[in-house]
Amino acid sequence: MKFEGRLNNIVKFMTLNINLTVKKVLYFLIILFIFSSCSKSDRGELVGIQTSVIKDGETLHHKKYGYSDIEHKIPLQENSIFRIASITKCMVAVGIMKLYDKGLFKLNDPIGKYIPEFNDPLVYQADGSLKPALNPIRIIDVLRHTTGIGKTYPYLRNRHDQLKLNQSLDLKTEVERLSKIPLATQPGTSWIYGPSVSLGAYMVEKLTGKKIEEYLKTEIFDPLEMEDTFFEVPKEKFYRFTPLYVSDKKGGYKLLETVDDSPYTNKVTFCNPAGGLASTMKDVSNFCMMLVNNGTFKEQKILEKETVALMSQDHLKGIKNERPSNDNHKPNDATGFGLTFNVLKNINAYPFPGSQGSYGWHGSAGPYFKIDPKENMILILLTNMKGWDYSRKEIFEINTYNTILKL
């Protein structure tokens, strides 16, 4: 990319000046990244973006750009609330693993032990027939996306699309409906990304007697001072909740969802564990700080150190990605998958700078985070533009690492 070459030259010049701090370099760097990567049509009407880089507990960079509401020219606020989509899965997984720390389940337990509807799953065959699963769905399968739940065949895609279209009234109904859809593959044999974490969330409800939203608030969000993380955004905070835009594939955008017509602002009965949370940069930062600090936040232990290590290691040895691609955020030669996090398992096969063992995830509404234990560093990007291609996240990551490694 042309701008990347320019950026590298500027960074080289800047690093010669010993009076410049890392903070100033990163500040200038990411401003260049954001505005260089915007199309001409975006420059006057930039969608909302927040970026943050935290290293060794110090915020090196924290900046907001563009508009929360482009039509009404409302700038993004410091505490704007974004849809964090599938990053929800990671937060739910931490809640699930908190019960693991208490000894309430084992990762190799069959999920059917807690949700009987999944005791005898059927597997869809290429000829349209159904066969009994050879293996039980285990809790580890729920967390690493190897349950077999997926859309591999057109029939299954239609069943799952109907499920999404006719949204469930609550988590119990969602899980019951999922149990009636045949699996795409044998449990524990293939990585297929999907809503399987909902099974784990429902298990939490059964083990604790609390709704998943109540459990997450008391056990995760409140201890982490995540005051603006919700399945349903309170009415008094609507003014901070961003509309959602989508790329029009011509370098511009179109409005996809207003605040008033958003499922996040209307009465929410199904708190979707697979992608239903809204949050802020501060809250996501606190969540990441807990992980990079091995499960502890401000002297409060959320998870055991060993449990964070367990969640952030690759659990896909011998398991194939059902839909392999060049997407470096999903399982391939460089990237493995832990318990709801992707994990950089082979730095030599990774086409970008980084650190072995770094982990994180992203969401369809544009959010992204990465935790690098080796560098003791966190990268976070939040936006109200759905459908960002991965290259922008990769540019953010590449140039941050290049700057850190040069200093």
Interval 239-292: pLDDT, tens? 999 999 988 777 778 899 999 999 999 889 899 999 999 999 999 999 999 999
- CATH topology classification for 38-93+213-406: Beta-lactamase (3.40.710)
Q: For the ranges 1-15, 119-133, 266-280, 300-314, which has the lowest average pLDDT?
A: 1-15
Token pair, residue 19, equals: 């009076």
Long-range contact pairs involving 401-404 (C-beta distance under 8 Å, separation at least 24): 401/352, 401/353, 401/354, 402/8, 402/11, 402/353, 403/11, 403/15, 403/22, 403/25, 403/26, 403/29, 404/22, 404/55, 404/375, 404/377
pLDDT averaged over every residue in the chain = 86
**Predicted local distance difference test score (pLDDT) of residue 389:** 59
What's the confidence (pLDDT) of residue 160? 85
Predicted structure pTM score: 0.89
- Return d(Cα 182, Cα 58) in angstroms, integer: 48
Q: Residue ranges per domain, the chain?
A: 38-93+213-406, 104-211
